[in-house]
Structure 1
Amino acid sequence: MNVEAVNKEQLQKAKSYKTMLILGMASIVMIFAGLTSAYVISKSRPDWLKDFQLPQTFLWSTIVIVLSSITFHLAKKAIQKNNRSTTTLMLSTTLILGLLFVFLQFQGFNQVITAGYYFTGSYSTITTSFLYIVVLVHIAHLVGGLISLLIVIYNHYKQKYNATQTLGIELSAMFWHFLGFLWLYLFLFFTFYK
């Protein structure tokens, strides 16, 4: 096989993987569109909490997920320049920030409970139950993002990426940026749509 045929095959493979990822992300958007639509409709219920405020920790987690998206982007740019040490640093930082995001989400849940609001059981409200479901579904997808990131880190350690082979990092970064954007949307939605 000549070089041109190999390059054409690699481009076709990359296009196929990116298309599959985009379709997967579109299905995730549909899930959250359904959940936020149900939230909007449920606001007319008489037991809806009108004065519920998100804890400050959710703002901090939003800042962390935005920072992690930046570090992942920097990792991708670094490997495109064959700068392995910067790529390693940025991928590791992204992983730490991703884990910190999950930790802060659960801290936010604890603050909601401390404020006297419960997510399940006889003392729960529809408002907090929606928050709980939406955040947990997002965290479940973020766990998928963290697994993808761990695979990228492993492959980077095995030196499978370089300036001409970045597909794995690109796909994982696309999904990570998508998750960050999705959380930003959810945070703004819960903050301003009361």
Structure 2
Amino acid sequence: MAKVEKLRIEEAPETLSMDPKKFILWGFIVTIIMLFASQTSAYLVRRAEGNWVEFEVPQIFWTSSVVLIISSIAMHWAYLAAKKDNFNTLKIAISITFVLGLAFLWMQVEGWKDLVAQNIYFVGNPSGSFFYVFTLLHGVHLVTGLIVLCVTFISAMRLKVHAKNLRRIEICTTYWHFLDILWLYLFAFLLYFR
């Protein structure tokens, strides 16, 4: 009888489980995707109605895109360093990612100044309004990414991020890469549908 119960226990199917914090992250990412999908849809509908001013996208947005890509590479470097318990490299790579994230935000502000110089304002023609809204919304999410980076950096300083505890760095890396991909999508969308 005990042998039969033992077989039943061993044959029980494995339950699928996910780390609750990673689940929250993915829920948040899906929410952000839905937000930007609705905004890009609204953009296309409004653009089709006419009265749309076309303008040159400031060059600094190209540069900021490259900066964000490099920051994603630095973030991946941090993740690889954590997997190898290379704590100094981990801290350096997270710091580089943070500084590049700040540089990206600064470049976005400079890009807005260039738009103002072209007489493209937040209030005015919808083409400019949408451009500001997209870049501002992404900027807000990037600020949340910088906060996650700070929390991960503090955890790394306290040696809570290491090869046997990668959850924080995995969450941070996933979110940072997502923000990079989101920006590249938005930038390509705004370039193509000017």
TM-score with structure 1 setting the length: 0.89
2:129 corresponds to 1:148 = no
2:67 corresponds to 1:54 = no
2:103 corresponds to 1:106 = no
Residue of structure 2 equivalent to 1:38? 42
Q: Structure 2, unaligned stretches of length 5 or more? A: 1-15
CA-CA distance at 1:46 after TM superposition: 2.9
Residue of structure 2 equivalent to 1:71? 74
3-state SS, counterpart of residue 55 of structure 1: coil
Residue of structure 1 equivalent to 2:20? 16
| C-alpha distance in 2 between matches for 1:24 and 1:130 | 22
Question: Which of the residues 8, 17, 31 maps onto 1:27?
Answer: 31
The one-letter amino acid paired with 2:129 is: S
| C-alpha distance in 1 between matches for 2:96 and 2:187 | 23
Residue of structure 2 equivalent to 1:6? none
CA-CA distance at 1:15 after TM superposition: 2.4
| C-alpha distance in 2 between matches for 1:158 and 1:20 | 24
3-state SS, counterpart of residue 177 of structure 2: helix
The one-letter amino acid paired with 2:32 is: I
| Deviation digits for residues 51-70 of structure 1 (CA, Å, limit 9, x no counterpart) | 31211111111111111111
CA-CA distance at 1:16 after TM superposition: 2.3
| Deviation digits for residues 124-181 of structure 1 (CA, Å, limit 9, x no counterpart) | 2110000111111111111111000000011111111111111101101101110110
- Report runs of 4+ in structure 1 exceeding 4 Å deviation: none
| C-alpha distance in 2 between matches for 1:44 and 1:148 | 38
3-state SS, counterpart of residue 43 of structure 1: helix
CA-CA distance at 1:27 after TM superposition: 0.6
The one-letter amino acid paired with 2:121 is: Y
Q: Structure 1, unaligned stretches of length 5 or more? A: 1-10
The one-letter amino acid paired with 1:47 is: N
| C-alpha distance in 1 between matches for 2:55 and 2:39 | 18
